[in-house]
Amino acid sequence: MDEESLEIVKATAQGVAEGTTETVLRALLAPLVERRQENADIIRGRRAERQVENLRRMYAMLDDANVPPEWIPDKTLVPLLTNASLEDDPDMQQRWAALLANAAAGEQGAEVMPAFAQVLSELTPIGAKMLDELAQTSHGQVDIHWLAEAAGWDLSDATVSDQVNVHIDISSG
């Protein structure tokens, strides 16, 4: 019997000897709670590393643009840092850093509304690429297949091709 199992048996026997259901349940659940806390600590550590990396990227972007960082209101900063810390994709992490940099640039950057954090958190990397392409399009009509290919989808794959058969009308009238 391994050490953890032995501890459970000892604690359960102690709880039974003391005659309380609460003691027995605590003894049985203690290893599960402890393991859950260890996993939570690992996740918190990864999130903290991503937050620091996003702030480093933000400062680098501001330095490259010769823009001094300004104070970011908590209503904007907290959702940006929180949602950015959940992102695994490197391209999306770069988008979060750019959003942070724009927020920290104040009047010299693009306006960053608090809702932007929620919007970006809902996008997939492909969806974000498609929006980038749409934003760079100067005319009012876009071929969805061109847009999908520009975003990196392989339209020769039938399952992917079926997913992009939609119509987007961005005309202004």
Phi/psi-derived region of residue 101, left when phi > 0, alpha when psi is between -120 and 50, beta in every other case: alpha
Pairwise CA distance, residues 26 & 61, whole Å: 51
What is residue 64's predicted lDDT score, i.e. its pLDDT? 96
Q: Where are the domains of the chain?
A: 3-123, 124-173
Condensed to tens digits (0 to 9), the pLDDT of residues 118-134 reads 999 999 888 888 788 77
Percent of the chain with pLDDT over 90: 40
What is residue 143's predicted lDDT score, i.e. its pLDDT? 67
Q: State which residues of the chain have pLDDT below 70.
A: 1, 4-21, 23-33, 35, 138-145, 147, 151, 155, 158-173
